[in-house]
Amino acid sequence: MRKSKFLSIFLAVFLSAALMAGCGSDTGRRNREVRIGMTVYDEYDTFLSELTEDFMADVAEVNAREQGTAVSVLRFNAAQSQITQNEQVEKMISKGCNVICVNLVDRTDPSMIIEMAREADIPVIFFNRELVEEDLMSWDRLYYVGADAFESGKIEGRTAAAYLKAHPETDRSGDGVIQYVVLEGEAGHQDSIVRSETSVDALIEEGIQIEKLESSIANWNRGQAQNRMGQLIDRHGDAIELVLANNDDMALGAADEYDRRETPAKERPAIIGIDGTKVGLEGVRNEKLIGTVYNDRKGQAEAMLKLALAVAAGEPADDLPLADGKYIRLPYAEITMENIDQYDN
């Protein structure tokens, strides 16, 4: 999609200032090094693997464009263990990282990481899995990059409502009420809790009569969602008219189950996700999903790199949209068949 003009301008200004202030005697050689440590809760998570890919592409762009600059990234997969992630951060510090980007495994347990970073005076940017405010405020070199979960749920609900109004046949039972199920992400994740609530609120606000049949946790995962959807179908049969999934992978898992059962299109519920991952977009294009909500991973990756370069150098990040000096949240956007061509990523 949009390419990073903002990033280019920012980097040009930031890096020239940094180079002037840096070890200027090495003219012609790489004389500015930024080492970024990065750990994700699970590298097999579709959204995060795409976000990481975008981040690495941005880093490569900086290195190619800025002579005399070497940004390197030391990457780790925490494989769903907070203990492993704490050890990874320890390693990053011992290997001389100047800034650390953490996608927490357990968003309620950042204390070890904060303590180690603080002791070594290395700034930390948390991303995507939001720690509680009290933890983020506990030291001035801690930041968060993500998005506003409330907005994603609202857009999901509104998009579903618009579809239902345009497709009255979705109410297969003809009772004037849409029977729905929810596929939820991890229990305790800010996005699961908030998206599940606000998507339903938005449907009600839009005047759709709804009835919840059941919700089921599938931990953001396509395979688990397929399995859960199988159980939901076994219990509720073709009464299910709408599937609200907290992300695209789970929405696609639900569609996979209908594919496995060879359910004809007319007998399937409307299925909607959130993220706009590559596979999610493909799901919208081939009409497995009625829509999705763009979780701006490119914007998040870009903001994280800009912030990382600024804070690593101890620069004020004045030109970044930092709320409370701490938070950068990128907006979400609706994606349907109508506008999907803008999202050719």
What is the binding site for ligand BGC (CB under 6 A)?
45, 47-48, 128-129, 189, 191, 220, 247, 274-275, 295
Specify the residue, 69 or 128, whose C-beta has the smaller distance to ligand BGC.
128
**Which positions ≥6 away from 164 have C-beta within 8 Å?**
170, 171, 178, 208, 242, 270
> Shortest Cβ distance from residue 159 to ligand BGC (Å)?
15
> Shortest Cβ distance from residue 196 to ligand BGC (Å)?
12
> Shortest Cβ distance from residue 203 to ligand BGC (Å)?
19
Specify the residue, 147 or 290, whose C-beta has the smaller distance to ligand BGC.
147
Specify the residue, 69 or 292, whose C-beta has the smaller distance to ligand BGC.
292
Specify the residue, 4 or 246, whose C-beta has the smaller distance to ligand BGC.
246
Distance between CA atoms of residues 65 and 79, nearest Å: 33
Specify the residue, 37 or 276, whose C-beta has the smaller distance to ligand BGC.
276
> Shortest Cβ distance from residue 128 to ligand BGC (Å)?
5
> Shortest Cβ distance from residue 220 to ligand BGC (Å)?
3
Specify the residue, 256 or 275, whose C-beta has the smaller distance to ligand BGC.
275
> Shortest Cβ distance from residue 259 to ligand BGC (Å)?
21
Specify the residue, 48 or 322, whose C-beta has the smaller distance to ligand BGC.
48
> Shortest Cβ distance from residue 119 to ligand BGC (Å)?
27
